[in-house]
Structure 1
Amino acid sequence: MAQKINHAAVLPAAGKDLEIVTLPVPTPGPADVLIRSHVIAVNPIDRVRQLFDLMVPSYPRVLGSDTTGVVEAVGSDVTAFKAGDRVVAVTDGFIFGDNGRESYQTYTVAQAATTAKLPDSVPFVKGSTISLAIMTAASIIFDGFKFQVPGSEASAEAKALPAAGVGPIIALWGGSSSVGSMTIQLATSLGFSVYTTASPQHHARLQRLGADVVVDYASPEAAVEQLLAAAAKAGKQILYAVDTVNDAKKSTPFLEQVLLKSATSAASSSTEGTLVYISMLPKYEWKSGLKPQFVNSADVWKRRTDIGAWLFGSGNLTRWLADGTFEPPIARVVPGGLGGLQSALNQVKGGVHGEKLVVEVE
């Protein structure tokens, strides 16, 4: 049997380019799976970590959290997977500090709890973009907005999901992003109505994915008024907003306006709007009259394991991929394998819209 060789793209120091080295093949723990990666996706947080020493306990450091590949081995407590299974997974190294649990390498370890089987009908490239994006989208709805996870017991902390025909409005800034496109699909499937912003070339796709209203953000002031006009026409107050852009000048203030102006114009309003954001906004001064809520998808491995169980452990994500319920974010392959990761990170810094960059691992 050929010896396994684990090539990895490592960050030697903050702000430096990635370097390709050989590392030991990591060993899965009792609740883990060892995955031979075939396609790795690049996320904006990876570039932030590279440049700003964020969530990097030591160097050299492997980065990355999205992988798609084949199970090589499973931990002693794992029964849902076996060697040879095609899978998608979110790795947790950026939370727990273990290089073996980061995805920018040939072999990586992931918790079985955030791993799902990839149907044979779905190519690795297509499946590679969905895991972290849908995990974040689910965190937005269930942890940020405090709605009840389907199938869970009702509680004082979780609101019931919308009844048929109600369609509460979620205003989403940045619908063409990976998280944006998955939030649109997940939210509409759960009974919400989504109003979103995007550049014109993405409007038709986002409407096909389920968005009820799509407006151009080129003039943010005009976008605010168009979102409010659409809600007024529907006779509804906008109570929920999602900021996937997380820009203290270009997105967040305008979503604040949407929530506050919608509350003012509503015939009767006693409920503050909730604005969920997925990246920290240091020193941002939030306006009164709304509830800002930071959502950290890493909580799926800690206090919100119920979200991970609903997505991954239940088989939901596998079924959705098999039957086309949800469309993964569009993948664009950057050539060069692991060596192409630095190019992908450079492109992420410059801004990537309407697609997610991935590399294929030889």
Structure 2
Amino acid sequence: MSETNTAAILPAVGKDLELTTLPVPTPGPNDVLIRTAVTAVNPIDHVRQMFGFQVPAVPKVIGSDTTGTVVGVGAEAASTYKVGDRVVAVTDGFATGDNGHESYQTFAVAPTLTTAKLPDNFTFLEGSTVSVVAMTAGIIIFEGFKFSIPGAQEQSKPLPSNKPILLVWGGAGSVGSVTIQLARILGFTVFTTASPRHNERLQKLGAEVVVDYSDADAAVEKLLAAAGDRPIVYAVDAINDAKNTIPFVESILLKSAAATASSTTPELVHVKMLSEYKWKDGLTHTFINSTSIWTERRDVGEYIFRSGNLTSWLAEGKIVPPPARVVPGGLGGLQSALNQIKGGGVSGEKLVVEVA
């Protein structure tokens, strides 16, 4: 390939990204090579930059969310993809350490396991925010709560048929909003918390109850009142603050179990490691690592991406991606986007840069 591969590279841990030129990566047998149109920025990218998490050596390309056009296809991938296909994907450089498998560059390699075709009615920008959070939502439900994937031969913990309540604390964020939608697709009744300005959007996405979390104690009581005699057994903390969110989610689960005399042990899934937190008794708590989608939970990748489910859900409006906000400057704007995430001023949207 004769085109230049411009990349935003991390020269050293804690340093700003720099633009450079790298060779165009080569896809493996089960990979596709994507010419990036839009890449999104995730909070974990800031963690990798500042603390060297999953950065085996520098200089290093980072980034996971990519949307663009297939320009190269591995031998095994050719049964599913062809040059010219429009796709969304999660690159797996976070797990492999391979610079070619990261998204902050013009050309990126992604495994077909976490690649899906972009529906014709979607622009690259509209599809740019969905891949990482769809992966995370799938891992939350199938790995965090250990529910069996629909249609799996072994149904160790089948999805319940009685529309149980699943609470998503922090539903306005990218992970929270897509978890709400996937949970609704899978048959759950969803309760969530968010700032009031997000109420209408989250109800449209499928949340039955949306409660303002600015007064967390009041939010607990409102959620319990809304549930009535229905137990709240399952909860996801999509914010994961050891002081301001986790204790209140625990409180809801334990109070609900007591009020409804539920015999089912409440389950809390969280998406950040909280090694110093002293968990309350009477519930289970599970930290999920989304990189398991490329190892022991490849079945989740098959169900979300390779089956065509994500493509269909997008096309049918069953999953609406988080809103995208473009940070100008192309790949050169990535550092500005990372700085904004560091500052904590991003709510209810994902920052993206347009590459092509």
TM-score, normalised on structure 2?
0.97
Q: What is aligned with 1:6?
A: 5
Distance in 1 separating the partners of 2:343 and 2:224: 31
Counterpart CA distance in 2 for 1:181 and 1:150 is: 21
Matched with 2:76 is 77
Match of 1:58 in 2: 57
Residues 93-104 of structure 1 aligned to structure 2 (within 5 Å): 93-104=93-104
Unaligned runs of 5+ in 1: none
Q: Is 1:307 the counterpart of 2:306 in the alignment?
A: no
Q: CA deviation at 1:82?
A: 0.8
User: Alpha-carbon deviation of 1:214?
Assistant: 0.6
Shift of 1:190: 1.2
User: How do residues 159-238 of structure 1 correspond to structure 2 at under 5 angstroms?
Assistant: 159-163=157-161, 166-232=162-228, 235-238=229-232
Q: Which residue of 2 aligns with 1:289?
A: 282
Q: Deviations over 1:183-210 (max 9, x none)?
A: 1111011111111110010011001111
Q: Whole-Å Cα distance in 1 between the matches of residues 252 and 286 of structure 2?
A: 16
- Percentage identity across aligned positions? 62
Cα distance in 2 for residues equivalent to 1:190 and 1:251: 25
> Counterpart of 1:361?
355
SS of corresponding position for 1:319 = helix
- In the alignment, residue 28 of structure 1 is paired with which amino acid? P
Counterpart position of 2:40: 41
Aligned equivalent of 1:329: 322
Residue 327 of structure 1 deviates from its aligned partner by 0.6
Residues 1:29 and 2:28 aligned together: yes
Do the aligned partners of 1:154 and 1:160 also contact (CA within 8 Å) in 2? no
Q: CA deviation at 1:142?
A: 1.0
Letter in structure 2 aligned against 1:101: H
Distance in 2 of aligned mates of 1:4 and 1:112: 23
C-alpha offsets along residues 49-94 of structure 1, whole Å, 9 cap, x if unaligned?
A: 1111111100011110000000111111111001111000000101
Q: Say which SS state the counterpart of residue 197 (structure 1) adopts.
A: strand
Aligned to 2:234: 240
1:271 positional shift: 1.8
Instruction: State the AA in 2 paired with 1:11.
Output: L
1:284-316: CA deviations, max 9, x gaps?
Answer: 111111000111111111111111101111111
Matches within 5 A, 1:334-349: 334-349=327-342
SS of residue matched to 2:197: helix
Partner of 2:124: 124
- Opposite residue 40 of structure 1, the aligned amino acid is T
Report the count of equivalent residues: 354
Conserved in 2, the CA contact under 8 Å of 1:203 and 1:214? yes
RMSD: 1.0
Q: Which of 243, 247, 250 is the aligned partner of 1:249?
A: 243
C-alpha displacement at 1:155, in angstroms? 3.2
Cα deviations by residue, 1:115-154 (Å, 9 ceiling, x for unpaired): 1111222000000111111111111111111111111123
Distance 2:311 2:166 in 1: 26
Which stretch of structure 1 is more off in the superposition, 350-359 or 316-325?
Answer: 316-325
Where does residue 111 of structure 1 map in the other structure?
111
**Alpha-carbon shift at residue 269 of structure 1 (Å):** 2.2
SS at match of 1:212: strand
Q: Which amino acid aligns with 1:140?
A: I
Deviations 1:219-250 (A, max 9, x none): 11111111111112xx2111001011011111
Amino acid at match of 1:326: I
Q: Which amino acid aligns with 1:160?
A: P
**Matches of 1:272 and 1:358, distance apart in 2:** 40
Which amino acid is the alignment partner of residue 101 of structure 2? R
Contact 1:70/1:87 (8 A) holds in 2: yes
CA offsets, 1:85-117, max 9 Å, x none?
A: 100000010111111101000001000111111
Q: What is the alpha-carbon distance in structure 2 between the residues aligned to residue 216 and residue 49 of structure 1?
A: 32
2:96 aligned partner, one-letter code: F
Contact kept? 2:185, 2:318, Cα under 8 Å: no
- CA distance in 2 between partners of 1:275 and 1:294 (Å): 9
Cα distance in structure 2, aligned partners of 1:175 and 1:155: 28
State how far apart, in whole Å, the 1-side matches of 2:195 and 2:8 are. 34
**3-state SS of paired residue (2:108):** strand
Output the CA distance in 1 between the equivalents of 2:314 and 2:267: 30
Alignment match of 2:271 (pick from 270, 274, 278):
278
Which sections of structure 2, spanning at least 5 residues, go unmatched?
none
